[in-house]
Chains A and B, each alone.
Chain A
Amino acid sequence: MPICLPPLTGLEGLTMHIEIDEISKEFGITAALHPVSLAIPSGALVALLGPSGSGKTTLLRILGGLEFPTLGRVLFDGSDATGLTVQERRAGFVFQSYALFRHMTVFENIAYGLRARPRKSRPTVAEIARRVTKLLELIQLPDIGGRYPSQLSGGQRQRVALARALAIEPRMLLLDEPFGALDARVRKELRQGLREIHDTTGLTTVFVTHDQDEAMELADLVVVMSMGRIEQIGKPAEIRARPRTDFVRDFLTV
């Protein structure tokens, strides 16, 4: 069933609540995700927390449409979105390696999603330039538009990847280990940056991490996962105070 997209203006677009309904994923005989269910309220900043192999990245990719679930549904604002293609989902995705287009400048990277639109819905050249400039200001890197990704530091690339995802006025933001490849000092700065961007745009944001400090510090809602199952869902303080399973308890004390 097609989803009608409401018209979006500016970055403060309408966002949506997400429901994950008994999603499971098998790769051959290995179950990456046992049936999991999760409700993400509109505008929340959610962390999928767990060690490697817990299925958190798989779940994120299913949300983004990069993987298809073996069973189960994904619902955006109550309508079944499982059959939507990646392009149709309007989910901004930031990859672990950032996946910037190395043959394009920062400007061209950020403008990419807008330029890729079919002629009817494509903004004018001037409008694209305006939006890219605004985004560069949002990520606090106003002067790097003409540089190439190879000339940027890790932290700068991460922010450009974020800006690129935001440029398409997504309905939700998905980030795969966004701070994983960075050193501790840069990580702290960017965490703050992500929180601010989330608060500015109000987008439903889901990010994957194995770093519990990060999850606890940033997220409104933390989903602890292990071996393809959800161990516990809750606010950070709640989880810390009342860990529900042994796994959660052990994971948090480390």
Chain B
Amino acid sequence: MSETTSRLPVRFRAATEEPALARWCLIAVAVAGLGLLVIAPLAAVFAQALADGAAAAVASLGNADARSAIWLTVMVAGIAMPLNAASGIAAAWAITKFDFRGKAFLITLIDLPFSVSPVVAGLCLVLLFGANSMIGGWLVAQGYPIIFALPGIILATMFVTFPFVARELIPVMIEQGRAEEEAALTLGAGGWRILFTVTLPNIRWALLYGVLLCNARAMGEFGAVAVVSGKIRGQTATMPITIEMLYNEYLSVAAFSMAAVLALLALVTLLLKTVLEWRYADLLAATHRP
């Protein structure tokens, strides 16, 4: 039995940790990098928007073109999003509740818009529905133009945001398994009832996040819409298009003010995502199959 019992040695470090100096250096690099690359541009948006004071910024959003741009953007997102959400749910249902050949191929197709440049997406739509094409020419003659009109913008937006909802839902639904749906089946529930009373409640947070992301992207889509819309002020100029036009006309405050609105939307989306991740981490743990 010894008299002296020793306390922890000064250089106390677990086997799975880096030395403190290394840790803080890495943290510093990460923070600096993110700050310079990501946070600085965000701050710049607001700084530039408020360069002439808040009143000027708000006033610039009040004119007719700005208002119609906002309205157009909201409408396009309002149409594209539910459609993509519905097809996302359908795709997730087909993929996660059934086993069939060619599943990987289907998933690759759904992911396709991610690997295609938005400009190329717009190009494809122009080739398909433009006045020169067969389909397009006929539609224009009927008085339903697609390119340089609202339908084209909606289609372009849908193309670009197509995978979002499905991609959010599929991993969650795979993790949750089919047992609950099968149980409902044995209890006599039909397909729609199962969907609405069993599946959707279980995936509601993932669905919400997928929809939010889809929405943010839909409202912010630029490249595809730039090609397809014709940039007609007051008619086919969405918010991002308007931002470009204002910027090119050196109307900096107006451009950045509108940009700030979209940036705020992005921040809200991220905030909601963080909150949802908290919430649905719990829920995911609760619905996790042992």
Contact = CB atoms under 8 A, between A and B. Distances in A.
A–B direct contact (CB < 8 Å): yes
Interface of A: 21-22, 37, 65-66, 68-73, 80, 82-83, 85-86
B5 A72 contact: yes
For B1, B5, B13, the residue with the greatest tally of chain A CB atoms inside 10 Å of its CB is B5
B193 to A, nearest CB: 43
B1 A68 contact: no
7 contacts: A21-B1, A22-B1, A66-B15, A68-B14, A71-B7, A85-B15, A86-B15
B5 A22 contact: yes
A22 B15 contact: no
Contacts of B12: 68
Contacts of A86: 15
B142 interface: no
Contacts of A72: 5-6
B6 A73 contact: yes
Contacts of A69: 8
Contacts of A83: 6, 9, 11
Interface string B10-24: 011111000000000
B252 to A, nearest CB: 53
A21 B2 contact: yes
A73 B2 CA distance: 9
Contacts of B5: 21-22, 71-73
Given A22-B2, A66-B14, A86-B15, 13 more contacts: A21-B1, A21-B2, A22-B5, A66-B15, A68-B8, A68-B12, A70-B8, A71-B5, A71-B7, A72-B6, A82-B6, A83-B11, A85-B13
B11 to A, nearest CB: 8
B19 to A, nearest CB: 11
A59 B204 CA distance: 46
Nearest to A74: B6
> What interface size band does chain B fall in?
10 to 19
Interface of B: 1-2, 5-9, 11-15
Per CB-CB distance, the 8 closest pairs between chain A and chain B, nearest first, are A83-B9, A86-B15, A71-B5, A73-B6, A21-B2, A68-B8, A66-B15, A22-B5
A83 B6 CA distance: 9
A82 B12 CA distance: 11
Contacts of B14: 66, 68
Contacts of B9: 68, 82-83
Nearest to A75: B2
Contacts of B15: 65-66, 85-86
B8 A37 contact: no
A22 B1 CA distance: 8
Contacts of B13: 85
A69 B11 CA distance: 14
A86 B9 CA distance: 13
Contact of B6 (A37, A66, A80): A80
Contacts of A21: 1-2, 5
B22 to A, nearest CB: 15
B17 to A, nearest CB: 11
A188 to B, nearest CB: 31
Contacts of B8: 68-70
A86 B14 CA distance: 9
A71 B108 CA distance: 58
A78 to B, nearest CB: 11
A65 B15 CA distance: 8
B7 to A, nearest CB: 7
Contacts of A85: 11, 13, 15
A80 B5 CA distance: 11
A47 B12 CA distance: 28
A82 B2 CA distance: 14
Contacts of B7: 71
Nearest to B12: A68
B72 to A, nearest CB: 52
A138 B238 CA distance: 74
Nearest to B7: A71
A71 B6 CA distance: 6
A28 to B, nearest CB: 16
Nearest to B10: A83
A80 B8 CA distance: 12
Contact of B1 (A37, A71, A80): A37
A70 B8 CA distance: 7
A66 B6 CA distance: 17
A22 B8 CA distance: 14
A70 B6 CA distance: 9
A94 B246 CA distance: 67
A72 B14 CA distance: 17
A133 B270 CA distance: 55
